[in-house]
Structure 1
Amino acid sequence: MSELVLLGADAVSLLCSLLEAEEPVITGYAVELLPMAATPLIEQGLLVPAGYDDVIGVETDGQEELVSVFPIDDDSALGYLDRYAGFVRVPPERLLRRRVDVSGVLRRMTSELDLPVGSPINEISPGLVWEIPAARLGASSSRRPLWFARRLFDPAVVAHITAMMERRPQPAPLIILTSTPAGRDHPPPLEGAIAIFVRDVLRDPDDLALHAGILERRLSGLSVAHDPALAVWLSADAKTIRFRCGTEIHFRGAKQIAILRTLKSAYDRGQAVRVKELTMHGGIAKVFGPVRWQQLAPFLEQRPDGWTFKR
């Protein structure tokens, strides 16, 4: 069993806020004010160095204010003038600005989606729009085109994306994942596209990984409030299953993987699966074997209409 390292809801909120800024950058001063939210993003490499600030927050006469920082000693030191203490040196790390590594964020967001192996995420409009490899959602064999865009509240950005869509026609309605909250004033909807706020389709509110089942339900117009799908996560290759309690089980057999895919797809739809649809070998316990079945069985229940994961 392995433990998933989560960012925390505050870090996810800060990240989405930064992505909505004209420049997705945070100052050293802001990092000091928001250490609980910023530190996990820095430690996970999602906020990367991007130059230095020329101001710093200091306390003067009981009030916090921004003061200018300048070099002395042949540029070998940085600091500010204090009316009482004179020149005060400032460690460079306190002035370090950091930028959101959007590519890294998107890799983490899509880490649990079923994407084509080896297909990269491409920045198709500098700093604004990225193309994600088409994802397979739920039990469907077809793939859905995905983009990520930020600042969808800006009419100029929407107009720009509309023009891009006209130049890049898609075989199916385009899904545009966005850092712009659904409640924020949006310009008119994009023709031929569906905008989805990423925080509405996360597997866990404390991290960035998108949940394919929740995304599929959103696209279908189904409610996902208190969605039981959050309690069960299945990797894209179906070789790893993780439950909300933290238990993680690994599988290798092709028949085991096929059963897990079928069970998870039905579970996300609120359905159970008859044993005859899962295996023709006398029972699913036999397919998984004594060791894996002992691990998996506590999370399954057999209802009159078939097998499903416990809710």
Structure 2
Amino acid sequence: MIDQAAARLMLTIAETPGARIAGSVLSDFHPRHGRQLMEANLLMPQGETLAAPLDLDHDDEPVRLIWSGEHGGYGYYSPGADWVAVTPDRLSMFGVNMPALLVRMLAQLEIVGGAEPLALVPDAVWEIGNVRLPGRSKPVPLWVARRLSDPDCWSAFVTATRVRPAPGLRIVLSTTPTGRLPKQMFAGHEIVGVGDVADHAAGIAVDPALLAVRIRTGTLPADVPISMSADGGSVTVRGKRYTFTGPKQRAIIRHLYEAWENGEPECLTDAVLEAADCANSVNTLTKAFSGRKDWQEFIKVEGGRCWIQC
């Protein structure tokens, strides 16, 4: 068992470029929690480092280590020209054991089929499979990603979503804290910070009930005027939520939302209806949304074009 402090440390290490941490940092600042992670097989030795980080005599900057035959080991000279030896245990680097982390993180989730995680982006994005969540009649595809706040990792993630489009709804569990995730949203994808849905009594394991509620309610940053649920079933505009059940209506909303999100909101109405597979007789949005008028509160139609206005 790892406690919450160890779980937070694990997620922090997972966000570093190589998912690694120096042994000196663990021993100096996280001795107990680092030991928990190593005993849980979540951290493993990975070579050596030749820098001693956070040395108080050097303004907290990493100090390059040198080999001394006289002293028989690595170390550095202090500002007073005194030799400071660095013991072998402090030279070790420790890396995240990603297979073990994924097992621990997903331990409480029911994965359909039990397939092994597939790396879609090396060392950054993994396809887990379909997961069953409380209150949902159908399993939901699940990915796990790390370092989504890094521009290169985010770009690789975006490419992966385009190569393998979401079939309606896909959950992406991210080791990146929610506050550091890009504000850009993708239709069909619900990105959730692991820390937001972890079971506090089980370290880093995701709580299925919390995840189900998080997916159902969603979140909307204060400066984003419109958001669409990952499954396309609802859209929230300036705090008001609109729910759509018909597949063609959802397709229309998704099309217009993606156009708005891409910065080119105006669409040809005929093209929108065609993309939604509407019949030839359904040649206006009024007919497509027959029986309700609330869509007119945020969708504007003029001169053969339509767009979301928020």
Q: Share of identical aligned residues, percent? A: 28
Corresponding residue number in structure 1 for 2:206: 210
Residue 276 of structure 1 is matched in structure 2 by: none
The more displaced of 172-181 and 158-167 is: 158-167
TM-score, length-normalised on structure 1? Answer: 0.61
Distance of 2:181 and 2:50 partners within structure 1: 34
2:141 pairs with 1:145: yes
Out of 144, 160, 164, the position equivalent to 1:164 is 160
Q: Does 1:26 pair with 2:55?
A: no
Matches within 5 A, 1:285-300: none
Q: What does 1:93-242 align with in structure 2 at a 5 Å threshold?
A: 93-138=89-134, 140-184=136-180, 186-204=182-200, 207-221=203-217
Residues in 2 aligned to 1:185 and 1:145: alpha-carbon distance in whole angstroms: 20
**Quick one: distance in 2 between partners of 1:76 and 1:131?**
48
**DSSP-derived class of the 1:120 partner:** coil
Gap runs ≥5 in structure 2: 220-310
**Residues 155 and 187 in structure 1, CA contact (< 8 A), matched pair in contact too:** no
Take 1:185 and 1:175, find their aligned partners in 2: how far apart are those partners?
Answer: 14
Partner of 2:10: 15
The number of aligned residues is: 217
Shift of 1:157: 3.0
Pairwise CA distance, 1:207: 0.4
Q: How far apart, CA to CA, are the structure 2 residues paired with 1:185 and 1:136?
A: 25
Q: TM-score, with normalisation over the residues of structure 2? A: 0.61
1:185 shift after superposition:
5.4
What are the Cα deviations for residues 173-197 of structure 1, in whole angstroms up to 9, with x where unaligned? 1111101222225241123201011
Aligned equivalents of 1:70 and 1:179: distance in 2? 35
Q: How does 1:55-94 map to 2 (within 5 A)?
A: 55-56=51-52, 66-73=62-69, 77-81=73-77, 87-94=83-90
Could you say which structure has the greater relative contact order, defined with CA pairs below 8 angstroms and 6 or more residues apart?
1
State how far apart, in whole Å, the 2-side matches of 1:105 and 1:84 are: 44
Q: Which residue number in structure 2 is paired with residue 51 of structure 1?
A: 47
CA RMSD of aligned residues (A): 2.9
Counterpart code for 2:6: A
1: CA distance between counterparts of 2:175 and 2:45? Answer: 22
Give per-residue Cα distances to partners, 1:88-122, cap 9 Å, x unaligned. Answer: 54321111011112221111011111113541112
CA–CA distance in structure 2, aligned partners of residues 125 and 211 of structure 1: 25
The residue identity in structure 2 corresponding to 1:24 is A
Q: Secondary structure at the match of 2:111?
A: coil
